[in-house]
Amino acid sequence: MTGPRGITIRPPRPQDLAAVIRIEQASFSDPWSDAFLAEELANDVLRMALVAEGPEGVCGYVMAWRVAEQLHVLNIATDPALRRRGVGGFLLREAALRAWAQGLREITLEVRRSNTSARHFYRKRGLQELAVRKGYYADNGEDALIMTGPLDSVLDSD
């Protein structure tokens, strides 16, 4: 499936790791280690990883776990040069489509309380703030908001 700006979504390949690391480091104040990213890029019975690829190469990714009937999003990021252009929504929707086909029916994730743009992004896709994880983020002790919703709300958005 081709999305905004000729972007396609596909499972990651080993050679995508460098681009994922670059996007991770540009996107988060406490980026994951290279080793952890490499581990999460592996697709297996519990993990789902996807990358967005455009004319210039990998420009985004999503990493999630399959937990019971939930898609638990661990991380989603887009190259800073392509933010607010539909790449993140396209990635999340494709992950939701694949999860739905596997019988999952709910989506959940944690987001920093201070990340108002991400919270808006998820609310726009039908997720609601359900609870707080106090002191969740190790870098500064910030709380995480648990957001959840029906998987089909993501499919019906955008």
Catalytic pick from 53, 61, 106, 122? 122
Q: Which of 79, 26, 68 is nearest to 46 (CA)?
A: 68
Structure tokens at 62: 């999503």
Catalytic pick from 110, 129, 136, 142? 110
Strands 47-54 and 128-133 turn out to be unpaired
122 catalytically annotated: yes
CA distance 119 to 128: 9
110 catalytically annotated: yes
Residue 66 CB neighbours (<10 A): 18
DSSP state of 145: E
Give me the active site residues, please: 110, 122
